[in-house]
Structure 1
Amino acid sequence: MDEETKLFPKVPDYHKPGKPLVPNGFGVFYVIASTVYLFLLHYFYNDSSPNLARSAIALAGCVLFGGFLGLLDDWIDLRWRYKAFLPLFAFLPLAVLREGTPRMATYFFGKIDFSTIYFNGFPIGEVLFYFCIIPVIVTVVTNTVNQLGGLNGLETVCPSIVMVGLMITSSNYSVLLIVPLATYLTLAFFNVRGKIFVGNTGSFAAGITIASYAILANTEQTLLISILPYIFNSSLILLNVFLFRKRATLTLDGDKLRSNHRRSLATLLAYYHPFTEKQLVVLISGLVTFSTGMAVLVWWLT
């Protein structure tokens, strides 16, 4: 690990006493391992299960897009107004390969089959699904995953929990996430201990993996319930940024993290009670575990 850390730029860990420098950008290992694995799946399943093989190559393309866009952000530190739109490009592998089922179950409108919507003989429903619905899902999910970070473990543990939930509710596609999940859990082991950061390379790639996999496996409802803590966190952040021009910050007081405002999920919790970094990560991870468990329960009951 010591030799590898020399290859990665170091950034301060602001939530540790003394702000030690930690190597950043280890998410690149997730991107490499995941894409190599998915390409191999495409090769080995191409004859026996062509649909799964196509899904593997589509997911690999999405992960590569996510990793590159995250790496770009790590390099030039984009402003949020630009960063928020980067994941839009990651929908292309899904749309071009026409992967994903254009039939979605929604809570308010029941099941919508976009493939049956035509206008003067033109399949406007499928165009809407592949070039409007999918980009929105990918962009929103990736940004919410990226925004719930900043503490050692949040960017790796929480997405891993969501991946497990998605795998449980889509056994026919779960093979696609075996190596991505194993790789991210390995990175989580070092990330939780404050040895590495996955950077935007990792968080973008993980967010796009989750969104793309849910689309491929047609488990968008499971995804929505699982990421409710993410959505709540992003809603708090965006409301404060747009309405009050204020950003969320945590203050280190000894070994405790405190906050005098409620502008994110982490600061909301630290506002009412000071926590150590590990305690805060465990608490937020517990919320994601609960929401993911509820998603699995809803899937099992329906």
Structure 2
Amino acid sequence: MYSSIWTVLAILALSASLIFNPADQPLLSSVGFSLIAYLVTYNLIPALGPAFIKVGFSGRDLSKKDRPEIPETMGAVCAIVYLFCMFLFIPFVFYQYLAKTIGGGVVVGYDSLSEGLVKGRILSAFPHEKLAEYLSAILCLQSMFILGVADDLFDIRWRNKFFLPAIAAIPLLIVYYVDFGITAVMVPVVLRPYFGDIVDLGALYYMYMAAVAIFCPNSINIYAGVNGLEVGQSVMIGVCILLNDFIYLVQPNHPAEESHLFSVYLLLPFLAVSIALLRHNWCPAKCFVGDTYCYFAGMVFAVVGILGHFSKTLLLFFVPQIFNFLYSVPQLFKIVDCPRHRLPKFNPETGLLEPSRTYFDKKKPGKLGQIMIYVLEKLHLLKVWRDEKGVVISISNMTLINLVLVYVGPLREDHLAAVLLGIQFASGLAAIALRHSVAAMIFGRDNI
């Protein structure tokens, strides 16, 4: 065991008391399952590490002097524990409805097939639409888990895997269409004289939600390369979404209470397994998370946003990821040469990370690329190196990670991760403040 036996027993005892709480509160049961998920994940990761290396799931940590080989794809462990946790949670989240259903007694009816009297339970009280949402969420997350493992196994090319999350989200969108189906959005006050109070986007809204399902997993996947960053940013986003959920839950009898409770039920065990993984992935990392975790984490957020009916608010918590994606566009779309790896450069003499560079000694950027480099340099968003004639010979790679190093200078890897996670959390808190202040001014009211 990688935790003391007394610690394990204490956590298990606390978890059991929360899961089987006398008030039959699903929220307390969710906390109990989350504690168990944390304990299992934290102990499984080091236990399974050698087995993962044995079958080829391993990688070299390029930001260390000795470049140690450590297990990779450990996000698969998190995903499996999370999914089992959500399976076991089903009876507890719907217990109050099952109790009402059973308490309603039995009804005697005539079965035409058996041509006899049969007994059955009255099921009218059971929220089948909520169960459909829950199961569609699990199905969607299972699909992303399979995609992530396949990518770690076969290193699938970007153009082949970019749109796959939208396919995985189809069950989610179908359930949204059947049980909710709202595709209208509020119009800002200044535009209402021209468009009215709301505009129904119809099929465009489903395209938007599919785009959210594509963006969330991929944005976490490309904003990576520092020990602890993939998991850390996911934890920060998850905490900020929880804070936003509780703003609604503290309002007595709020109409959005069920939606945000659903969000909390999905996020608590996710945060538990992610924090356990972060403890092993923090610098110096003892394991890598792999693409599996990035896809799985991103899809958790997409599911929460879509089924929690706050997919537009969700994007406010992804501002660093949105900036990183837009900033990376010139290299991602080959307008400017893009090396295979854009990780920060490790300086073995100082032990610090420095901005990595793209060199133009072989392939010069085209006219559009030159314009983009010029504009970004003028905006102080790029470091450019020139020869004695003033010709650009290299630039810092276009990622938020490298940009932070351009501004603050070389940093230790753990210090860089802390800065990036600080930016993520501060951005999330600002998003909550803007959502519940500026939004009220733009749309005339805050819907809490």
TM-score range, shorter chain: 0.7 to 0.9
Judged with a 3 Å threshold, the aligned counterparts in structure 2 of structure 1 residues 293 and 106 are, in CA distance, closer, same or farther, namely: farther
Judged with a 3 Å threshold, the aligned counterparts in structure 2 of structure 1 residues 105 and 169 are, in CA distance, closer, same or farther, namely: farther
Partner-residue secondary structure (3-state), 2:287? coil
Q: Does 1:250 align with 2:344?
A: yes
Q: Does 1:198 align with 2:334?
A: no
Judged with a 3 Å threshold, the aligned counterparts in structure 2 of structure 1 residues 206 and 100 are, in CA distance, closer, same or farther, namely: farther
CA contact (8 A) 1:42 1:57 kept: no
* Structure with greater contact order relative to length (CA < 8 Å, sep ≥ 6): 1
Distance in structure 2 (CA, Å) of the matches to 1:191 and 1:84: 26
Partner-residue secondary structure (3-state), 2:398? coil
State the AA in 1 paired with 2:405: A
Distance in structure 2 (CA, Å) of the matches to 1:138 and 1:94: 10
Q: Does 1:59 align with 2:137?
A: yes
1:214 maps to 305
Q: Does 1:21 align with 2:69?
A: yes
Q: Does 1:230 align with 2:321?
A: yes
CA contact (8 A) 2:76 2:292 kept: yes
Structure with the greater alpha carbon radius of gyration? 2
Distance in structure 2 (CA, Å) of the matches to 1:58 and 1:289: 30
Q: Does 1:75 align with 2:153?
A: yes
Judged with a 3 Å threshold, the aligned counterparts in structure 2 of structure 1 residues 249 and 2 are, in CA distance, closer, same or farther, namely: closer
Cα shift at 1:28: 1.2
CA contact (8 A) 1:10 1:23 kept: yes
1:276 maps to 412
Partner-residue secondary structure (3-state), 1:4? helix
CA contact (8 A) 1:100 1:216 kept: no
* Residue 187 (structure 1) aligned to one of 277, 282, 290: 277
Cα shift at 1:245: 2.5
Q: Deviations over 1:91-146 (max 9, x none)?
A: 122023236663465786798564xx6xxxxxxx2x4433x222111001211111
What TM-score results when the alignment is normalised by the length of structure 2?
0.60
Judged with a 3 Å threshold, the aligned counterparts in structure 2 of structure 1 residues 177 and 113 are, in CA distance, closer, same or farther, namely: farther
Cα shift at 1:85: 2.1
Q: Deviations over 1:23-74 (max 9, x none)?
A: 0111112211222222333333346273543332222122111111111100
2:208 maps to 133
CA contact (8 A) 1:101 1:216 kept: no
Aligned positions, number: 291
Where does the alignment leave 5 or more consecutive residues of structure 2 unmatched?
1-44, 98-125, 246-259, 358-395, 438-445
Q: Deviations over 1:249-290 (max 9, x none)?
A: 421113111124041011112233111111111111111101
State the AA in 1 paired with 2:354: R
Q: Does 1:296 align with 2:432?
A: yes
1:168 maps to 243
> Higher helix proportion, which one?
1
1:42 maps to 90
CA contact (8 A) 2:213 2:302 kept: yes
Judged with a 3 Å threshold, the aligned counterparts in structure 2 of structure 1 residues 103 and 41 are, in CA distance, closer, same or farther, namely: farther
What RMSD, in angstroms, separates the aligned Cα atoms of the two structures? Answer: 2.4
Bigger mean CA offset, 69-78 vs 50-59: 50-59
* Identity across the alignment (%): 25
Distance in structure 2 (CA, Å) of the matches to 1:210 and 1:240: 26
CA contact (8 A) 1:226 1:295 kept: yes
Bigger mean CA offset, 91-100 vs 24-33: 91-100
Partner-residue secondary structure (3-state), 2:169? helix
What TM-score results when the alignment is normalised by the length of structure 1?
0.87
Partner-residue secondary structure (3-state), 1:169? helix
1:241 maps to 332
State the AA in 2 paired with 1:290: A
